[in-house]
Every structure is written in structure tokens, then in C-alpha cells.
Copies of this chain bind each other. A is one copy, B any other.
């Protein structure tokens, strides 16, 4: 597929941690080397033991480096836990589990941040050292912190997510610092690329993984005006989240717990949607082209297969549209 500007080969993915990283790995296998850019949520980042921890970035790094723990989806394979065991004996805080190898990432990132490096250049260097061809961008080099309004008041994200294991009832989210954050320039540049083939919103939690990215000023606009179709993959299968609190949050926020509700949440950003075959019937409810397939990613081949389906849908949407993309369908922002 070509445009006047040459081959459309650049793919941009928006991703949180575990679920998103699985699809990103799939995409990295089917997109030519160097042609995949992943924008990572950094709203989950926090300071722990004086260390800057970037959970979603690290899950992407470890997954793409194939250093990830296949059991948990986060952390590193062949990890040891000597640090946590020793810390426990000393009465240290153990609610956030840091593996020994993982700790090195946080220590080295913190050192470099202190010496004045930007988060994005640190991630780029780590990716290079890990031999990762995919470009991983933090949504911003500025500080944005997700907070969760619960029935018991506002909580810092990791306190809610890890320490309280998502038990409190969720009422709202805020992305502190987002108002003044600047999107990473390469993210905005990628969205303006004539060679952009597709934007993929990974099957991550919409509220705490994707919305923080969309909250950075300029990102939503750049997405709305980009020259490529935007396709999201549902993180809900048969009314349940594959992993994590997405379904629980939707319930608590008074939403329908369904793939369709996720599509409506993204609203006019979407040009296409991919949901699980178990939810095929929901396609009729949606005002954008919707493909149903197996979205559960157990094996690497599942990931590649889903990536291919997503890109095929994007390519189909591109073929339909006029050269300016003006003919591309968009999701209506009200429920049909």
C-alpha cells in the first residue's frame, strides 16, 4: 500500500503494561524493524525507595527484549527475590515487590534522571542495550501521575493498584501534571508522518493506561488529525477483563461491562475496532468497522495473529478512504 509520500510502513501503538505489551510484541514481529513506535503510559510511574519506577515502560522493555516473565506478564524471567526477602527481615516496605534484576533498571534510571537525562533518552538507551528494534516513547518526559478517586478518597495510583489491590471502589481518575505536560515530540512527529500506516490502541485498561496518554495536551488532537486509521483492540472478552481491574472499574463507573462500551469510551478517536469472537454480536452496535477474532493472547503466535488482524483492518480502512483520509469512518460518540 502506497501514498504519494511513499510506502505507509510506520505503526504507532498506544500501550499500558501487560495486555498492551503482548500485542506490541506481536506487532514487533509483523512490522519491519524500526517501523514500530510504542507510546507508553507513564501515569503509573512513581517514586519508591527514592527510585523512579516506570512499570509500563519496563513491562514493554522486558517484553520486547524477551526478558519478561511469561507467568506474570510483568517483571523479569529468571528473577531472584533476595532483596525483598532481606528487606522484610529489616522491617522495610514490601507492598511493592521489586525483583533483584528489576531493581537495577530503577536504580540506573534514577541515577540518569538525577544526572539530567530525560526519561525518553534513558528508555532509548536501555532499549538499545536490550537489542530492541521497536522505538519505545514515554507519552511525555514531564511528570504525570495517575490518581484514583475511591469511595475512601484520592489514592496515588500504585497505592490503589498494588497496595490495596484495586479493592476500593473507583469513582474517578485524575492525571496530575497532565495540564502542563508536553507530549514527546517524536509522538507528535509520528502522528504527522505521511508514512503512518496505523495507530493501534492496545488492549490496555482504557482508564488508567490509555486515558493518561490521551490526557497529555495535544495528543488527542494529533490523533484526530493523523493521516492513518486508528484501531483499538478490546480489553474485555465476554464481559470480563482478561487481566486487571478494567471490568471492575467499568462496573463501578456505571458503565456496561462490554467491549462495545470500551469502543464508545474512545468515541470519535476510533476508525476501527477489534473485539473477541465471543463478542462478535456486539459489532452491530458499533458505528465503525469492527472485526471479531480471537483476542486472547496466550502464545507468541496468538500475538502475531492478532497484530496481523489489527493491521489488516487498518489497511482496509486506508483503502476505503480518499487521499486526505476524509472518507474514513469515525466512531460516533453516543451509544447507537
> CB within 8 Å of B: which residues of A?
49-50, 76, 79-80, 82-87, 89-93, 99-105, 107-108, 110-111, 114, 125-126, 129-130
Q: Which residues of B contact A105 (CB under 8 A)?
A: 86, 90
B91 A111 Cβ-Cβ under 8 A: no
A100 B87 Cβ-Cβ under 8 A: no
Q: How far is the CB of A83 from chain B (nearest CB, A)?
A: 5
B89 A129 Cβ-Cβ under 8 A: yes
Q: Which residues of B contact A104 (CB under 8 A)?
A: 82-87, 89-90, 92
A111 B80 Cβ-Cβ under 8 A: no
Picked from B49, B82, B89, B114, the residue with its CB within 8 Å of the CB of A107 is B49
A130 B50 Cβ-Cβ under 8 A: no
Q: Which residues of B contact A111 (CB under 8 A)?
A: 49-50, 92-93
Question: Do A82 and B100 contact each other (CB < 8 Å), given the known contacts A91-B125, A125-B91, A126-B90?
Answer: yes
Q: Which residues of B contact A92 (CB under 8 A)?
A: 104, 107-108, 111
Q: How far is the CB of A308 from chain B (nearest CB, A)?
A: 32
B110 A49 Cβ-Cβ under 8 A: yes
Question: Do A108 and B83 contact each other (CB < 8 Å), given the known contacts A50-B50, A50-B114, A100-B100?
Answer: no
B83 A101 Cβ-Cβ under 8 A: yes
Q: Which residues of B contact A103 (CB under 8 A)?
A: 83, 86, 100, 103
Picked from B91, B102, B126, B129, the residue with its CB within 8 Å of the CB of A108 is B91
Q: How far is the CB of A60 from chain B (nearest CB, A)?
A: 15
B87 A130 Cβ-Cβ under 8 A: no
Q: How far is the CB of A126 from chain B (nearest CB, A)?
A: 6
A50 B82 Cβ-Cβ under 8 A: no
Q: Which residues of B contact A125 (CB under 8 A)?
A: 91
Residue in A83, A87, A111 with the greatest tally of chain B CB atoms within 10 Å: A83
Q: Which residues of B contact A110 (CB under 8 A)?
A: 49-50
- For the complex, give the distance between the alpha carbons of A129 and B91 in Å: 8
Residue of B nearest to A107 (CB): B49
Provide a sorted-by-A list of 25 A–B residue pairs whose CB atoms are within 8 angstroms. A49-B110, A50-B50, A50-B111, A79-B82, A82-B99, A82-B100, A82-B101, A83-B83, A83-B101, A83-B103, A83-B107, A85-B101, A86-B100, A86-B101, A86-B103, A87-B107, A87-B108, A89-B104, A90-B104, A90-B126, A91-B108, A91-B129, A92-B107, A92-B108, A93-B111
